[in-house]
Copies of this chain bind each other. A is one copy, B any other.
Amino acid sequence: MTITAGGGTAATSEQASEAELDRLDAWWRAANYLSVGQIYLLDNPLLAQPLRPEHVKPRLLGHWGTTPGLTFLWAHLNRVIVQRGIDAMFVTGPGHGGPAVVASAWLEGAYSERFPDVSRDGAGMRRLFRQFSFPGGIPSHAAPETPGSIHEGGELGYSLAHAYGAALDNPDLLVACVIGDGEAETGPLAASWHANKFLDPVSDGTVLPILHLNGYKIANPTVLSRIPERELLALLEGYGHEPFVVDVDADSDHMAAHARMAEAMDRVVDRISDIRAGAVRGEPAERPRWPVLVLRSPKGWTGPRTVDGLPVEGTWRAHQVPLAAVRDNPEHLAQLEQWLRSYRPEELFDPEGRPATELDGVAPTGTRRMSASPHANGGELLQPLRLPDFREQTVAVPRPGAVTAEATRVLGEWVREVVRANPSNFRLVGPDEVASNRLQAVFEVTDRLFAGEILPTDEHQSPHGRVLEVLSEHLSEGWLEGYLLTGRHGLFTCYEAFIHIVDSMVNQHAKWIKVSRRIPWRRPIAALNFLLTSHVWRQDHNGFSHQDPGFIDHVVNKKSEIVRVYLPPDANTLLAVMDECLRGRDLINVVVAGKQAAPQWLAPDAAVAHARRGIGIWDWASSDAGEQPDVVLACCGDVPTLETLAAVSLLREHLPQLRVRVVNVVDLMRLQEPTEHPHGLSDREYDLLFPPDTPVIFAFHGYPWLIHRLTYRRHNHERLHVRGYKEEGTTTTPFDMLMLNDLDRFHLVADVIDRVPGLGVRYAALRQHMLDERLRCRDHTRHTGEDAPDVRNWEWTAR
């Protein structure tokens, strides 16, 4: 066992005393005992009787391998927390080590405070053991049910990003983040190492990454445990850290291991203190080299060395349940009992099952307990945003279509005010697209945080700033999730197509929220807000790879209670929608809006009312005069709205007698039934907008079948004809994009002629004329490279 400092020069604090480490070891043994008990025991929690098969669960589910390393780290963090009065959180990258964090929370008392029936005594211990991975009980991972956790850790890869998100704007917080060596192979984790360049050592907290080299994943060795030590140290130094390594093998004396880890932890914390103190004093100017701790320990440490003659401790066989046949195999049963008794439970718990007094003082108390950190139940700390009145930024729209604006640029001016009004609990994140997405007004009041070298040619870069931009959707998402989960607010702006990169992260966050909502002590957190722009219809520069509106489809698979999808048709509606989103709690809000100059339709009051309703008839564009229309032209999304209005304009010219109703949809979930989504229109309301026998031509921003799916139980769905993106695209003009997908105005008019009974025969010539116009526009664009003419300047009646 060695401790290596990769060139570190930190002063070492006083060494931990032997007595102190004895107590710490007892605490560690207790946590390990409680972990093994959770995995195995139905009954006889204190081993008051000899272990019998019926004391053991019939189905053994859980992950032992990573667990003793986690309890070891928790115990040693507790030592420095107590000694130095540190506020700390624990992020469990290997979340499958749930038994470790549950055990620690129970030992610290936080578990029983949250779940009084799981009391801190023998009866509670029996429940603690029984409920783990048991039907009706608790999950095997560090789930929302786990006090002190903000990170489930099931889908590996996001721990470090979550940790950095938690540290932002929490200058007094130390976020200890255990990274499993399996997790370290994932892309999101690998990208997150560089998050240390996006941290302000004065106004943000500290992240202590702890790389736990366990040696094995499920069945394979891990990469980082099998590269030479010099490469590992170079890698961590290359990430910008100062590494401290603690190396333990199965033969290591436990007390010696504790001494080494205590020494390393002291040096690490000293180093952190030095950096922070220096930063407050304004020195040094260059980016700090924060410490990283490496713990190399055997997988399944302190568990069975061999089972059935095969090595287990220190191998992949220790990953889940080392002894698998305890109920049927007496040898396994005996080995389990021996294993449990090896922790000497009789020293650790009194006869009533309460933790022995010897353990007192090993862990901190109150909110210093990592299991009781208020940051890990962020809703407790949540302060509502101060939201300036967005009417200051609205665009004057004297009549529909009369003025042009860039929706996200207008929004940016309001977001600037939000940033200004909330200088320490609101963050903007994204992959290098704040300016590209035209929110650059925010840079009038803040910068992009960057702790690397800054050159004179840079703009809006500084070591302080509210905006985090890195070319990683994963890191952006992880930052924001960590920030929200610890009780703050934010907005993620992204190119629409590339938000799919975080599909799986959003899945996991949705699951977290869904479960949290049902746990009384989990307080609501701020909504996860996405602004998706540079969207499918306006990716002129980049072409097909940048054209994908499918994220909406992805999120609507999540629990309806937590998902909202908005497609505001213009700048004022976008402002009203975003104001609503920033007030949301325990939600995922997806807003899709363009950044290009486009006609504006609604004056501020009308926009607010429209956003509030979420769907409505645009009388000024309709010609049904409140009567039964011949056709409904529905639209959802800014570009489809423009094309629909252009089609209406053509219809007014060529088919003035046709009674056309225009329905615009902002809140997509209004289309679903109220039984399916809380925003769903009743059938009666729906039928008033879309009369059951009237054909509907629906121009949609995304894949057309989503509209069919949302409306499949509605009365008129057989008369619903949807146009949208059908996966046709390239680098071309905006008009050509519409043509490729049959969403252009001319095609919509042809659709009307096809769908309204009686028109097809009488207006075959007009239909042909429309298709000819279409080709004429295409030829124009293909010959000149110019876009097709914009919407006609129809004199819409303002409302």
Q: A residues within 8 Å of B by Cβ?
A: 42, 57-59, 61-63, 95-96, 133-141, 143, 152, 154-157, 182-183, 185-194, 197, 217-223, 226-227, 231-240, 311, 314-316, 320, 432-436, 448, 450, 452-455, 457-459, 461, 469-475, 497-498, 500-501, 503-504, 507-508, 511, 514-515, 540-546, 548, 550, 553-554, 557-559, 703, 705, 708-709, 712, 717, 727, 730-733, 736, 778, 781-782, 784-787
B471 touches A545 (CB 8 A): no
Give chain B nearest CB distance to A539 CB in angstroms: 9
Most chain B beta-carbon neighbours within 10 Å: one of A133, A186, A548, A554: A186
Contact of A139 among B59, B227, B453, B730 (CB under 8 A): B730
Asked whether A543 lies within 8 Å of B154 as measured between CB atoms, the reply is: yes
Give A49 to B718 CA distance when docked, in angstroms: 61
27 residue pairs of the A-B complex, CB under 8 angstroms, read A57-B785, A95-B545, A134-B732, A134-B785, A136-B732, A154-B543, A155-B546, A156-B471, A185-B194, A185-B470, A186-B191, A187-B188, A219-B435, A221-B461, A226-B452, A231-B239, A233-B238, A314-B457, A497-B507, A500-B503, A500-B507, A503-B504, A515-B544, A553-B553, A557-B727, A705-B712, A708-B712
Does B543 contact A59, Cβ atoms closer than 8 Å? no
Chain B contacts of A785 at CB under 8 A? 42, 57-59, 134-135
- B712 engages A220 (CB within 8 Å): no
Query: A134 CA to B785 CA in the complex, in Å?
Result: 6
Which residues of the other chain, B, contact A226 by a CB distance below 8 angstroms?
197, 450, 452-454
Q: Is the CB of A542 within 8 A of B154?
A: yes
| Residue from the set A59, A140, A731, A782 with the largest chain B CB neighbour count within 10 Å | A731
Known: A186-B187, A457-B315, A712-B708. A232 touches B238 (CB 8 A): yes
Query: Could you tell me the distance in whole angstroms from the C-beta of A228 to the nearest C-beta in chain B?
Result: 8
Q: Shortest beta-carbon distance, A225 to chain B, in Å?
A: 8
Q: In the assembled complex, which residues on chain B have CB atoms less than 8 Å from the CB atom of A470?
A: 185, 220, 223
Copy tally for this chain in the complex stands at: 2
A435 CB → nearest B CB, Å? 4
Nearest to A544 among chain B residues (CB) is B511
CB <8 Å contact, B191 and A432 = no
Would you call B155 and A498 a contact (CB within 8 A)? yes
Chain B residues whose CB sits within 8 angstroms of the CB of A545 once the complex forms: 95, 141, 143, 152, 154-155, 508, 511
Instruction: Provide the residues of chain B in CB contact with A553, threshold 8 Å.
Output: 553-554, 557
Measured between beta carbons, the chain B residues less than 8 angstroms from A435 are 218-219
In Å, the complex CA distance between A708 and B241 comes to 53
How far does the Cβ of A585 sit from chain B's closest Cβ, in whole Å?
Answer: 19
Give the contacting residue for A237; candidates B95, B234, B508, B511; CB below 8 A.
B234
- Contact assessment for A731 and B139 in the assembled complex, using a CB-CB cutoff below 8 Å: yes
Chain B residues lying within 8 Å of A434, measured Cβ to Cβ, are: 219
Of B139, B191, B237, B705, the residue contacting A544 (CB under 8 A) is B139
Known: A135-B781, A186-B187, A238-B231. A712 touches B703 (CB 8 A): no
Known contacts A231-B240, A785-B57; is-contact A471 B185 (Cβ 8 Å) = yes
Most chain-B Cβ atoms within 10 A of its Cβ — which of A154, A315, A545? A545
CA distance A432 to B542 in the complex (A): 35
A457 to B300, CA, bound (A): 14
A96 to B185, CA, bound (A): 28
- Chain B residue numbers with a CB within 8 Å of A220 are 432, 448, 450, 461, 469-471
In angstroms, Cα B544 to Cα A221, docked, is 26
> A503-B503, A545-B511 are known contacts. Are A732 and B471 too (CB-CB below 8 A)?
no
* CA of A655 to CA of B259, assembled, Å: 71
Asked whether, in the complex, the Cβ of B96 is within 8 Å of the Cβ of A542, the reply is: yes
Determine the distance from Cα of A655 to Cα of B97 in the docked complex, in whole angstroms: 48
Chain B residues, CB < 8 A from A540: 59, 61
- Given contacts A61-B541, A190-B190, 15 further A-B pairs with CB under 8 A are A95-B545, A133-B731, A136-B732, A141-B545, A186-B191, A186-B474, A217-B432, A222-B471, A226-B454, A234-B235, A501-B503, A501-B504, A503-B503, A508-B545, A712-B712
CA distance A548 to B558 in the complex (A): 10
Distance in Å: Cβ of A270 to nearest Cβ of chain B: 23
Question: Nearest-CB distance from A775 to chain B (Å)?
Answer: 12
Cα distance A672–B135 when bound, in Å? 38
Q: Considering only CB atoms, which chain B residue lies closest to A239 in the complex?
A: B235
Is A135's CB under 8 angstroms from B736's CB?
yes
| Cα distance A234–B787 in the bound complex, in angstroms | 50
Residues of B within 8 A of A134 (CB): 731-732, 782, 785
Chain B proximity of A60: nearest CB distance (Å): 9
CA distance A61 to B785 in the complex (A): 11
CA gap between A16 and B575 in the complex, in Å: 61
Name the residue in A220, A238, A540 with the highest tally of chain B Cβ atoms < 10 Å from its Cβ: A220
Q: Which 10 pairs from chain A and chain B are nearest by CB?
A: A235-B238, A154-B545, A187-B187, A190-B190, A226-B452, A500-B504, A234-B238, A187-B191, A185-B471, A139-B543
Of B140, B187, B472, B736, the residue contacting A543 (CB under 8 A) is B140
Q: Residue on B with the closest CB to A230? A: B237
Q: What is the bound-complex CA distance between A594 and B65, given in angstroms? A: 25
Q: Within the complex, what minimum Cβ distance (angstroms) separates A131 from chain B?
A: 10
CA distance A709 to B710 in the complex (A): 9
Check B237–A541 contact: CB distance below 8 A: no
- Is the CB–CB distance between A731 and B61 below 8 Å? yes
The docked-state distance in angstroms from the alpha carbon of A736 to that of B135 is 7
Neighbour of A143 across the interface among B140, B235, B544, B709, CB < 8 A: B544
Given known pairs A237-B234, A435-B219, A471-B185, the reply for A503 and B554 (CB within 8 Å) is yes
